[in-house]
Amino acid sequence: MVSSSAWNGVRRNGAFYASIAPFFLIFPAFSIFPVAFSFYLGLSDWDGFSDPHFVGLANYGRALNDPVFQKAIWNTLYLWFWSTLFTVGLALALAVLVNDHVIGGRTYFRLVFLLPLLVAPAIAAIILRVFFTSNGGIVNMLMGAAQGQPSYFNWLASEVWIKPLVTLLVIWRWTGWHMIIFPAGLQAIPRDIYEAARLEGVGRWAIFSRITLPLLVPSLVFSIVTATLGGLQMFDEPFVLTQGQGGTNNSTTTLGMYLYATAFTQFDFGLGAAVSWYIFAAVVGFTLLSRAVNQRLGVSS
């Protein structure tokens, strides 16, 4: 009669089971199935319509042999590194400044830096294009004024400048989001440690680097991990800034854009799925790495 008593248990806690049931319906349908399906697609040739057929690891090999994919790997790493460095660095600096120097209205600062994220990426790109467009762009006008002769440099078509511009767009959009990670960590550092340090005559920079920073490691790691997850999957910013073309000579085509182009404009879903698994592998690898680093730092401090 085990089963009947188990059933009684279910009945007694009916409301509980009813309330978690949706999760067990939604999770397989919208999480497990897509993951399994994309794994299957990665091993198939599929145009989104006819019956997929099995091609083994061919898609994974095709991606590696595609010069655009190789370029996309490098572009993604570049954009990830610089955007993470500047976004997290700037967010940390702003958070510390607000924490140290602003007493009333801290919420105002947290919110005001978050505003860019509320602007749709396409609109953000238009704003940046107004600054950098070759013909009548604000930056060229300023340069022209400084040089005494008009400047028509095509920033957005430049292979050299388009990556920094994408990075700039990422920084502008995401710094505020990272900034709200740090205040909680900063608040958690006991005041008396600072006071003791100041009484000992320790300088400001030393206080920051010896006390604040080490105690902020968990927040910092969290911030870097989320920036990395975004960075490795970066799509919106380079897409909107280059009209979906990836810039001159694919100089800012990211893995996400490559995936999008193969799967959704060229209907090569097998190749797209294979690329998504490469991105997934990179994300998992980085997450494991950051955990290891976090644990080591945690032990040493």
Indicate the residue among 72 and 98 with the shorter CB distance to other proteins.
72
**Rounded to 5 degrees, what are φ and ψ at 268?**
-105, 75
Q: How far is the CB of 101 from other proteins (least distance, A)?
A: 41
Residues from 228 through 267 that contact other proteins (CB under 8 A) = 242-246, 248-250, 261-262, 264-267
Indicate the residue among 110 and 129 with the shorter CB distance to other proteins.
129
Whether 68 contacts 249, CB under 8 Å: no
Indicate the residue among 122 and 184 with the shorter CB distance to other proteins.
122
Piece in contact with other proteins (CB under 8 A), picked from 61-69, 86-94, 173-181, 277-285? 61-69
Residue 224, number of CB atoms within 10 A of its CB:
20
Taking phi over 0 as left and psi of -120 to 50 as alpha, with beta for the rest, 246 belongs to left
In one-letter notation, the amino acid at residue 181 is I
Q: Give the integer Cα–Cα distance in Å for 191 and 296.
A: 26
Beta-bridge partners for 53: 45
What does the DSSP assignment read for 220-287? Answer: HHHHHHHHHHHHHT--HHHHHHTTTS-SGGGTT--HHHHHHIIIIIS--HHHHHHHHHHHHHHHHHHH
Residue with tokens 């998992």: 284
Residue 270 binds other proteins (CB under 8 A):
no
Q: Give the integer Cα–Cα distance in Å for 239 and 166.
A: 9
Residues from 125 through 184 that contact other proteins (CB under 8 A) = 126, 129, 133-135, 150, 152, 154, 157, 159
Which helix (DSSP H) or strand (DSSP E) does residue 45 occupy?
strand 44-45
Residue 100 binds other proteins (CB under 8 A):
no
Residue 267, number of CB atoms within 10 A of its CB:
13
Among 60, 268, 273, 274, binds other proteins (CB under 8 A): 268
Indicate the residue among 69 and 109 with the shorter CB distance to other proteins.
69
Indicate the residue among 50 and 300 with the shorter CB distance to other proteins.
50
Among 4, 65, 147, 300, binds other proteins (CB under 8 A): 65
Q: How far is the CB of 165 from other proteins (least distance, A)?
A: 15
Indicate the residue among 94 and 275 with the shorter CB distance to other proteins.
275
Q: Give the integer Cα–Cα distance in Å for 179 and 92.
A: 6
Torsion of CA 148, 153, 156, 162, to 10 degrees: -90
Q: Give the integer Cα–Cα distance in Å for 121 and 83.
A: 16
Residue 122 binds other proteins (CB under 8 A):
yes
Q: How far is the CB of 61 from other proteins (least distance, A)?
A: 10
Indicate the residue among 159 and 195 with the shorter CB distance to other proteins.
159
Indicate the residue among 139 and 202 with the shorter CB distance to other proteins.
139
Q: How far is the CB of 129 from other proteins (least distance, A)?
A: 7
Q: How far is the CB of 48 from other proteins (least distance, A)?
A: 6
By the criterion CB under 8 A, which residues form the site for other proteins?
Answer: 47-50, 62, 65-69, 122, 126, 129, 133-135, 150, 152, 154, 157, 159, 242-246, 248-250, 261-262, 264-268, 271
